[in-house]
A and B are shown apart, each in its own frame.
Chain A
Amino acid sequence: MRYGYYPGCSLSGLARPYDMSTKAIAEPLGIQLEEVEDWNCCGATEYFAVNKMAAYALVGRNLANAAQQKSFTDLVAPCSACYVNLRKTDHNMGKYPKLAQKVNKALEAGDLSYDPGTLQVRHLIDIIVNDIGYDAIREKVKEPLKGLRIAPYYGCLIVRPELGEPLDDPEYPMSLDLLMEALGAQVVDFPLKAHCCGGHMTQISSDTAYELIRRLLHNAAEYDADAIVTLCPICQLNLDAYQSNINRHFGTDFKIPILFFTQMIGLALGMPPKSLGIGKEFVSAAAMLRKIGTEPELEAAPTGKKQDDKSLPMPGKREG
């Protein structure tokens, strides 16, 4: 099956492991991903706050570009924020013709246009559980994740808001639970599975953000989870990169690795952890890997990168 692929900014940076593992499992699962040409940022949760029309137009450019490629009708985004922005723009353009008119007027300035409904915007988990299916995955599993206790973490934007046909229940989703079970893992009850990871609050108010992250880690620890498995780059970042800070701040001792669901699929398919970007996480997954009999390979420290001539200058400090 052929899909348009919109990786989004995170996957080429802080969520590189997500990108690596997605591409690694695509082939064995029979998924062909065709990257949207010259895609731009989706605006995350920020652009809509500053200028809605520009935000819609920003996403509109991606939809228009993707629709032009014509080799696919389903556009897949692995990042929740990208997914919701692409889907919201397509959905609202369809629901409010006036909006579609305006977005297209803006796109006209770049010789583009987009007819809402042309593309079906879908999240990666959607195509894996619905197009491929639990049974097909179960059949492909070579190394079942036996004995692994996993807290499935959906975060917000995969299941909310409801834009058209919902992907899963907005309050108590189950698709990732069932997928992890299909991989042979033991899924723990994780009541906070669709609660917020703090999102951009890490950048704005640490008190708020840390508390939100702590709740999640606390809840997963209560159920003795070996790992939290996520579907979203920001969720992964917030739970992983800030975990040591949380421990320092609250005097706790969480050591829960945070992995992408695609990495777990890769492990179950028998792929070497490194090829899945495992090892790049802040909180080591080594203990978890040992539990399923996979020895982690240590990530070699990067060699000093040589300065590329084409690189752009760093932006300077803002005046005032």
Chain B
Amino acid sequence: MVDERFEPKIVAFLCNWCSYRAADLAGTARIKYEPNVRMIRVMCSGRVDPTFVLKAFALGADGVMIAGCHPGECHYLEQNYKAMRRFNMLKHTLKAMGVEEGRIRLQWASAAEGVQLASAINEMVDQVRELGPLNWAQNWHEDGEVEAAIQRIEEEHAEVMEVPA
């Protein structure tokens, strides 16, 4: 196929109690949704350290979703509010880093919301697909000029050293 559609890789962090169960439910109900999201289970959305998100981007993810129980329904009472605060902080920083807002999403999904989670995933995949690959590592490849430049220095030095003392 010539113009193959870009298939983004999205990492999702799902809380054990609501959103992971929503994913279970989506499965049990045989709801088909985009395969691009790969899920990692944590006990609570409050466990999601911003480092996880940054790491996922650095390791090649094109988008990251954090999913937790609805506000007020956290199985750990109120820890999803902390997830929300951190998400806002992270979004603020990522914006400054030039990462488009659509690449990170905080999704509330209760254990009963398989359909909603699936739709949110579809929506996000569409959005990230439109944004295109993030390809973060590409950012510091210096267009492959480095080795040539260093070689030039080596050659220059070799030349100098050949000059008789």
Q: Please say whether the chains A and B touch (CB closer than 8 A).
A: no
Q: Which residues of A contact B (CB under 8 A)?
A: none
